[in-house]
């Protein structure tokens, strides 16, 4: 059982900001910036692609509202939504969660971004195989 499943079950306390039938949002215990919020589906799944449509929709419905609340509480006008899947992608807790991380001066998420160029042939291949997978 992950720490987030235990929080959802009420076995471990959290600083709860929001809860409904499908979603729980609470403050991150190791905030990257002030107001760093975690938004978690109650469904027990490790990674985003495993989530039911119902959980996914429930998260999508409240994320913008929660982002507005984070902005209002912190005064931030910029923020990042971060959602890690897999240890190689920096996921530490293996229960789906979205981070809402306000950008407050130099505090907030640092992003390493190394853009390449999109090859046209590869783009056609990718579009075909992604569309076949949908």
Footprint of ligand AMP (CB under 6 A): 3, 14, 28-30, 38, 84, 90-93
Q: Closer to ligand AMP at the Cβ: 79 or 124?
A: 79
Q: Is the dihedral of CA 32, 15, 5, 62 positive or negative?
A: negative
Give me the least distance between CB of 108 and ligand AMP, in Å please. Answer: 13
Buried b or exposed e, range 45-82, using 16+ CB within 10 angstroms: eeebeebeeebbebbeebbeebbebbbeebebeebeee
Residue nearest to ligand AMP (CB): 30
Give me the least distance between CB of 26 and ligand AMP, in Å please. Answer: 6
Compute how many other C-beta atoms are within 10 angstroms of the C-beta atom of residue 114: 4
Q: Closer to ligand AMP at the Cβ: 113 or 122?
A: 113
Q: Which member of 22, 36, 95, 97 is catalytic?
A: 97
Give me the least distance between CB of 5 and ligand AMP, in Å please. Answer: 11
* 15 given a catalytic annotation: no
Q: Closer to ligand AMP at the Cβ: 31 or 56?
A: 31
Distance CA 51, CA 96 (A): 8
Residues 46, 96 contacting (CB under 8 angstroms):
yes
Active site residues: 97
């Amino acid at each position: 059982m992950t720490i987030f499943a235990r929080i959802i079950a009420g076995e471990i306390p959290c600083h709860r900001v929001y809860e409904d039938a499908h979603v729980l949002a609470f403050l991150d215990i190791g905030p990257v910036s002030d107001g760093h919020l975690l938004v978690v589906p109650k469904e027990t799944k490790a990674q985003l692609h495993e989530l039911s449509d119902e959980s996914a929709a429930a998260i999508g419905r409240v994320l913008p509202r929660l982002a507005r609340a984070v902005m209002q509480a912190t005064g931030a006008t910029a923020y990042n939504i971060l959602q890690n899947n897999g240890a190689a992608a920096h996921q530490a807790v293996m229960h789906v969660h979205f981070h809402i991380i306000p950008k407050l001066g130099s505090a907030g998420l640092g992003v390493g971004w190394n853009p390449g160029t999109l090859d046209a042939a590869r783009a056609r291949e990718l579009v075909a195989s992604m569309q076949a997978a949908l």
